[in-house]
């Protein structure tokens, strides 16, 4: 008599399969550990390039408790460019960059909630480009709650297929050639594929240029040239109109820059609406800083001049000025995004939005000077660069203007908006 129970056999098979797929990534994730949950095994992986970009907040949420810097930088990829080591090079220690590529204000707010409950800050620098104040910016993406949850639950981290996928990306990046060499010695279970078709078709016949005669796309006789920016500033800005006056710039941009100025900027500003809901989140962060005695600075990162002109193209010149003025009720606004020698020189930028590492070093050095006391500034080594000089000391300022309590001080490729009553 057959005593086998087919239901039990199937159940065991399914249970084994589920267990295998549930446990399979655990050992791999423990050893490879792409986000440095344990740091036990050094496989010489480029985690700061691959893992960070796979999930910026997760990497930071796992890393920060081991650093506990009390001077924090928040923002998007432009703020992320201000690396911790650049502050150390400037003679300032204790900075931690908590910025994420593509960060949104909801993500900044969730990070603020985490910091409020888990650390004691001395300084907070927040990158606040205008486009982040639109509710539709990156569809309101917020990766931070998930990152906090995974960082606080090791089992979920080690059993995660997403973590395993990121780990494999690290392995493939570092050991891809070795794995390819090893694969050549592995037996193949795939036979040679044979395509059905006419036997007289050869590779040479398929590559015959005559087959694609007339297929070539038409060539553009004249390269795309951006139009001269019009003088649209001044309306509604009163005495501040001269600080936004556009000066003519007539040049052909590299293709990547031109595409961003033309298409990306149109996506940024065509349907842009300044969100009071997002503004209230920034205001709450600022009020927390005021209550807890945390020094707060807002950071407006530089873009190339043509990108700045696009804001006025879409009728947002007054908004671009007004949001800076509104921010000053809470803290100084360190502004690099205006017409100056830095934003006119393309060699300082990797693309129309992002400045290079040399500029990042100088901006970090200026924030270091801002945070330091006068005594500390005198003790630190002399600055290596001369591209940027924010008007921190009286002798740094080339222009001072005040109207209705709003003040503007202008240095070298840097200006500071503030209020005389704050």
The answer, yes or no, to whether residue 8 has pLDDT greater than 50, is yes
Task: Tell me the C-alpha distance between 344 and 222, whole Å.
Answer: 24
- Phi and psi at 143, nearest 5°, equal -90, -5
The answer, yes or no, to whether residue 214 has pLDDT greater than 60, is no
Task: Tell me the C-alpha distance between 272 and 317, whole Å.
Answer: 12
Q: Which of 104, 109, 111 is nearest to 135 (CA)?
A: 104
Q: For the chain, how are helix, strand and coil distributed in percent, rounded to 5?
A: 50, 10, 40
Q: Among residues of the chain, what percentage have pLDDT more than 90? A: 67
The per-residue pLDDT for 379 is 73
The per-residue pLDDT for 307 is 96
CA distances to 21, 22, 29, 149 from 170, rounded to whole Å, are 21, 21, 11, 23
The answer to whether 305 and 311 are in contact (CB under 8 A) is: no
pLDDT band for 420, please (50, 70, 90 cuts).
confident
Looking at domain 71-139+233-419, its CATH superfamily turns out to be SGNH hydrolase (3.40.50.1110)
The answer, yes or no, to whether residue 15 has pLDDT greater than 60, is no
Q: Which of 34, 58, 56, 57 is nearest to 46 (CA)?
A: 34
The per-residue pLDDT for 245 is 81
Mean pLDDT for the stretch of residues 19-29: 72
The answer to whether 111 and 288 are in contact (CB under 8 A) is: no
Task: Tell me the C-alpha distance between 2 and 9, whole Å.
Answer: 13
The per-residue pLDDT for 21 is 55
- What letter does residue 64 receive in the DSSP assignment? G
The per-residue pLDDT for 9 is 61
Tell which wins on pLDDT, 2 or 48.
48
What is the dihedral angle through the alpha carbons of 118, 119, 125, 131, rounded to the nearest 10 degrees?
Answer: 0
Q: What is the mean pLDDT of the chain?
A: 86
The per-residue pLDDT for 197 is 56
Q: CA angle 357-359-364, nearest 5°? A: 90
Task: Tell me the C-alpha distance between 118 and 207, whole Å.
Answer: 64
Task: Tell me the C-alpha distance between 24 and 161, whole Å.
Answer: 9
Q: What is the pLDDT of residues 351-384, one digit of tens each?
A: 999 999 999 999 999 999 999 987 777 777 555 5
- Phi and psi at 72, nearest 5°, equal -110, 140
Q: What is the pLDDT of residues 282-340, one digit of tens each?
A: 999 999 999 999 999 999 999 999 999 999 999 999 999 999 999 999 999 999 999 99
> In angstroms, how far is CA 101 from the centroid of its own chain?
3
pLDDT band for 177, please (50, 70, 90 cuts).
confident
The per-residue pLDDT for 225 is 44
The answer to whether 51 and 170 are in contact (CB under 8 A) is: yes
Q: CA angle 38-43-45, nearest 5°? A: 95
The structural domains of the chain, with segments of one domain joined by +, span 9-68+147-171, 71-139+233-419
> In angstroms, how far is CA 285 from the centroid of its own chain?
20
pLDDT band for 204, please (50, 70, 90 cuts).
low
* 3-class SS of residue 106: helix
Task: Tell me the C-alpha distance between 367 and 92, whole Å.
Answer: 10
CA distances to 132, 211, 235, 268, 277 from 272, rounded to whole Å, are 10, 48, 19, 7, 14
pLDDT band for 224, please (50, 70, 90 cuts).
very low
Q: Among residues of the chain, what percentage have pLDDT more than 70? A: 81
Cβ-in-10-Å burial (0-12, 13-18, 19+) of 114 comes to: buried
Q: Is 39 left (phi over 0), alpha (psi -120 to 50) or beta?
A: left
| Dihedral sign from CA coordinates of 315, 320, 325, 326 | positive
CA distances to 104, 199, 223, 264 from 254, rounded to whole Å, are 28, 48, 10, 15
The answer to whether 93 and 85 are in contact (CB under 8 A) is: no
Angle between helical axes of 105-118 and 56-63 (0-180°, round to 10): 10
The per-residue pLDDT for 227 is 38
Mean pLDDT for the stretch of residues 114-118: 96
The per-residue pLDDT for 314 is 95
In DSSP notation, 196-262 reads -S-TT--HHHHT-GGGGTT-SPPPPSS---PPPPP--TTTTTGGGGGGG-------PPPHHHHHIII
């Amino acid at each position: 008599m057959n005593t086998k129970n087919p239901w039990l056999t199937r159940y065991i098979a399914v249970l084994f399969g589920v267990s295998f797929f549930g446990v399979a990534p655990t050992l791999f994730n423990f050893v490879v550990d792409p986000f440095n949950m344990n740091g036990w095994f050094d496989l010489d992986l480029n985690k700061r390039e691959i893992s960070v970009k796979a999930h910026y907040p997760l990497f930071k949420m796992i890393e920060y408790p081991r650093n506990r810097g009390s001077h924090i930088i928040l923002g998007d990829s432009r703020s992320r460019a201000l690396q911790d080591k650049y502050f150390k090079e400037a003679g300032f220690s204790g900075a931690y960059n908590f910025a994420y590529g593509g960060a949104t204000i909801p993500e900044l707010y969730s990070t603020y909630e985490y910091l409020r409950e888990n650390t004691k800050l001395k300084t907070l620098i927040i990158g606040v480009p205008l486009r982040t104040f639109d509710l539709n910016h990156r569809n309101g993406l917020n990766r931070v709650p998930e990152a906090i949850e995974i960082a606080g639950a090791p089992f979920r981290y080690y059993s995660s297929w997403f973590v395993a996928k990121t780990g494999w990306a690290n392995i493939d990046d570092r050991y891809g050639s070795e794995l390819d060499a090893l694969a050549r010695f592995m037996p193949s279970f795939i036979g040679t594929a044979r395509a059905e078709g006419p036997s007289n078709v050869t590779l040479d016949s398929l590559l015959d240029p005559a087959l694609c005669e007339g297929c070539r796309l038409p060539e553009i006789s004249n390269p795309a040239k951006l139009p001269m920016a019009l003088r649209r500033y001044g309306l509604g800005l009163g005495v501040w109109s001269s600080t936004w006056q556009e000066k003519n710039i007539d040049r052909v941009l590299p293709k990547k820059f031109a595409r961003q100025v033309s298409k990306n900027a149109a996506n940024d500003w065509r349907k842009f609406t300044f969100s009071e809901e997002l503004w209230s989140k920034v205001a709450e962060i600022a009020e927390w800083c005021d209550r807890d005695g945390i020094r707060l600075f807002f950071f407006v990162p530089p873009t190339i001049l043509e990108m700045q002109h696009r804001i006025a193209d879409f009728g947002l010149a007054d908004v671009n000025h007004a949001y800076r003025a509104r921010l000053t009720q809470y803290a100084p606004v360190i502004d690099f995004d205006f017409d100056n020698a830095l934003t006119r020189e393309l060699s300082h930028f990797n693309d129309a939005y992002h400045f290079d590492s040399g500029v990042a070093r100088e901006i970090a050095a200026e924030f270091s000077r801002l945070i330091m006391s006068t005594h500390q500034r005198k003790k630190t080594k002399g600055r290596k660069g001369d591209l940027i000089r924010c008007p921190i000391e009286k002798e740094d300022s080339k222009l001072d203007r005040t109207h209705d309590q709003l003040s503007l001080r202008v240095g070298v490729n840097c200006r500071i908006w503030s209020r005389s009553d704050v």
